[in-house]
Structure 1
């Protein structure tokens, strides 16, 4: 008799205001059984329940945050004790201080840790307490520049095609002038290439269009960079599969995130998706900015 498939357990945690509710809804739409506001002490009973349910609960996501008592002192210990014996991963949602303040102010609610202080005081206290948990997470998603629809799409890209790929790679094009993506595992700089912005007939176009793509890839060193970078990433992705790291974010930046990085991201995606066991998606973070 074939062995029963192993249950998957996903812990969703991170900064308050970073989008846990949106992620929970997206996971439910993908068929995950989601438990919200779970105390860390209940993780092991939840796993035992999932095992007894067998095929009825193959994928379980637990949202754990500062609302759960004992969160900061016990979650890391609980995750460490459970790992190794089951398919358990941690998804950490992060965002910049400015984005979090803006979100709390828009809903007119205090930060759960601010007490008599300000929203920023609460954010700082939470970020300090969550530092170890963030470092120990399997997946980190920075939601600073994502609306709820974009975040849902990101979660769908990460988790919907896992059966077909051992490692899911998200390639993010971005503009350095808007900041480096906080959730990037690898960062490449496309500013060694001439900027199409200074070509009048290309300025109003993007790296998604053939005229810009041909200009960027036709520059000396462009294709050589893509070939060598893809080759350098092959053993990295092989190691990720071996270590059961199932998601990676590769960021490629140029000045504004509109021309060079977009063209190179698309070209790199075409190289990486040829590797066995690798699924690739592309997100152009700053394409719509002025």
Structure 2
């Protein structure tokens, strides 16, 4: 698959693109079955809901141990981390050759998986999950430039009530002032300047097998899950070969997987 010139222009303008019905439902179900087993048994490394909102900017930027460090049996898992090495089904999706030409177009470079960031099964558990505030993923990542995108796979239907992604189109191209963000670098919602931008948000309801590719600087958020069913998604991040992790940062502490170019 390749994007048309119009689609590629839309991505660069908006900062995201949706690929409908990209992965067959049977493959989504197989990935979901493995993910549910790892979630049920709380197989480390994981991130929990405990203390998530209290973590400092320094913690999110510097800490390289992705284990939760928790021994609570009733903890709520927010995400499974380091999924590339967990199961062959996860690895195969992250190395999928059908989506690679699209990623090559968007990055205008050879595709490299960075296992330091995302590389996760994301959850929004019913009754326990929190809303995700407006943010840019790139804020805690340390690279030579911004040529990174994330690939989000819906493993089941996603909509407003269970926490579908929302974006501010074009925000990846905007220059922001430091005071537009709080101390943890979330985009503030209490200023008129920001409110005018937030009013332009778009919601992206998804069906099982849909994929969203979005830029590392694109502002995005999600509601909490107010339904009775867990929302489980798969997200990983890729960069261009010319984009280098800054030595000594968390971004440089995990392996990178160079993918072969495909036509």
- Normalized against structure 2, the TM-score is what? 0.23
Higher helix share: 1
- For CA contacts below 8 A with separation 6 or more, give which structure has more relative contact order: 2
- Structure 1-normalised TM-score? 0.22
